[in-house]
C-alpha cells in the first residue's frame, strides 16, 4: 500500500482551531486530504464548517491533547473507520505570557512549566506513538512536528518553558525519524519565526514594530506559508527528507 495514490490520505492536525493550525488544515484540505482537525476550542467547528462549504472532507474534534486516554481512543477510532492514518501534524501549543512579555525563568512556577511541556512536547510524543503503528502497517507515513525559532536560538519573547519544549521537539523528531525510517515513515520539524496568530498578537504596537524590524524580509509571516511547508513535507516528493528542521522565519535565524 506504500505510495498508493488511489486512496484518500488521512491527515490529523492538532491545534487546528486558529492560527497556524487553521492555515495547515486549509492548505491540506485543498490538496485533497481527509482532514481530522483537532483543537481544545469549539472554534475548530467554524474552521471545519467553512471547509465543508467548499466541498472538502473535514471533521472537527474538540479534545484536550494532554488527555492521553482520549488521544489513544481518538487515534484508534480514526484507524478503525478509515483503516489508515497517513499524516500527523503536531501543531498544538501554548505559551503563557504576562502582558505580552515572557515570564522569567526564576519566577516561573513548576505548575506552569509542567502545563506547557504537557501540551507542547508530551502530547506530540503520545500522538506520534499512537499513530505510528497504522503508518507502519500501511508502509507510509508523515509526522510533522511544529517547533519554533525559539527552539533554535534565544528569542526575547519566548519563556524558558516554551523554548525547552520546542528544542525538545527537535530532539524527539530526530530520534523518532531514525526509528521509523525503515517503515516508509518520515518525521520532520518546522520551526516558524514570527507568524500572524492569536498567540503572537499578544503585546503592544511598539513591541510589534520592534519585532518586524528584526526580520530581514521586513514583515511577519502568515499561517498559509507554514501550510505550504507542511504540504511539501507531507508529499511523496519529500520521501528522502527525514529528521530535518525546516526554518520558516523570514531570515531571523540562519543556521
For the stretch 156-187, pLDDT in tens is 777 788 899 999 999 999 999 999 999 999 99
Catalytic, 82? Answer: no
Answer yes or no: is pLDDT of 102 > 80.
no
How far is 149 from 138, CA to CA, in rounded Å?
Answer: 33
Residue 84: per-residue pLDDT? 97
Domains of the chain: 10-247 (3.40.50.720)
Classify burial at 207, counting beta carbons within 10 Å of its beta carbon; exposed 0-12, middle 13-18, buried 19 or more: middle
Catalytic residue among 33, 82, 162, 240: 162
Least confident range of 56-70, 79-93, 105-119, 154-168: 154-168
Residue 34 pLDDT: 97
Residue 42's Cβ-count burial label (10 Å; 0-12, 13-18, 19+) is: exposed
pLDDT of residue 5: 61
How far lies 248's CA from each of 87, 137, 227, 238, in Å?
Answer: 20, 32, 11, 17
> Could you give the residue ranges of the DSSP H alpha helices within 2-143?
19-30, 43-53, 68-82, 110-117, 123-138
Q: Mean pLDDT throughout 113-141?
A: 97
Question: pLDDT value at position 103?
Answer: 74
What are the tens digits of pLDDT across the range 52-65? 999 999 999 999 99
Model confidence at 202, in pLDDT bands (50, 70, 90)? low
Dihedral sign for Cα atoms in the order 90, 132, 5, 181 = positive
- Of the two residues 196 and 39, the one the predictor is more confident about is 39
What percentage of the chain has pLDDT greater than the value 70? Answer: 93
Q: 3-state DSSP call for residue 116? A: helix
On the 0-12 / 13-18 / 19+ scale of CB atoms within 10 A, 159 is buried
Residue 1 is predicted with a pLDDT of: 44
Average pLDDT, the chain: 90
Average pLDDT over residues 128-153: 93
pLDDT at 255: 75
| pLDDT score of 101 more than 70 | no
CA 154/CA 89 separation, integer angstroms: 25
Cell of 9: 490520505
pLDDT average, residue stretch 18-27: 94
- Percent of the chain residues topping a pLDDT of 90: 70
Least confident range of 25-29, 121-125, 127-131, 218-222: 218-222
- The three cell numbers locating residue 134: 497504522
Of 121, 58, 70, 134, the residue nearest 92 (C-alpha): 121
What per-residue confidence (pLDDT) applies to 4?
Answer: 60
Task: Provide the β-strand partners of residue 101.
Answer: 98
CA dihedral (11, 16, 17, 23) positive or negative: negative
Q: How does pLDDT run across 204-255, given as a tens digit for each residue?
A: 777 778 778 888 888 888 999 999 999 999 999 999 999 999 999 888 888 7
CB 225 within 8 A of CB 22: no
* pLDDT, tens digit, 9 for 90 and up, residues 115-126: 999 999 999 999
Amino acid at each position: 500500500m506504500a505510495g498508493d495514490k488511489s486512496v484518500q490520505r488521512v491527515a490529523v492536525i492538532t491545534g487546528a482551531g486558529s492560527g497556524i493550525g487553521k492555515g495547515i488544515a486549509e492548505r491540506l484540505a485543498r490538496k485533497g486530504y481527509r482532514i481530522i482537525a483537532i483543537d481544545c476550542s469549539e472554534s475548530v467547528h467554524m474552521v471545519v464548517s467553512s471547509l465543508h462549504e467548499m466541498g472538502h472532507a473535514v471533521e472537527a474534534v474538540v479534545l484536550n491533547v494532554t488527555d492521553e486516554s482520549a488521544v489513544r481512543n481518538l487515534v484508534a477510532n480514526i484507524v478503525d473507520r478509515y483503516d489508515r492514518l497517513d499524516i500527523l501534524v503536531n501543531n498544538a501549543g501554548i505559551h503563557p505570557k504576562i502582558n505580552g512579555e515572557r515570564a522569567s525563568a526564576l519566577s516561573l512556577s513548576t505548575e506552569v512549566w509542567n502545563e506547557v511541556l504537557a501540551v507542547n512536547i508530551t502530547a506530540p510524543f503520545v500522538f506520534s506513538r499512537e499513530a505510528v503503528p497504522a503508518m507502519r502497517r500501511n508502509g507510509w507515513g508523515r509526522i510533522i512536528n511544529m517547533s519554533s525559532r525559539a527552539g533554535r536560538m534565544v528569542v526575547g519573547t519566548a519563556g524558558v518553558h516554551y523554548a525547552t519544549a520546542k528544542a525538545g521537539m527537535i530532539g524527539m523528531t530526530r530520534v523518532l525519524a531514525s526509528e521509523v525510517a525503515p517503515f516508509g515513515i518520515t518525521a520532520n520539524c518546522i520551526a516558524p519565526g514570527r507568524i500572524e496568530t492569536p498567540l503572537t498578537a499578544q503585546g503592544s504596537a511598539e513591541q510589534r514594530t520592534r519585532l518586524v524590524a528584526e526580520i530581514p524580509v521586513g514583515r511577519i509571516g502568515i499561517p498559509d506559508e507554514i501550510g505550504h511547508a507542511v504540504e511539501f513535507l507531507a508529499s511523496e516528493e519529500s520521501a528522502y527528507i527525514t529528521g530535518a528542521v525546516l526554518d520558516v522565519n523570514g531570515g531571523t535565524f540562519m543556521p
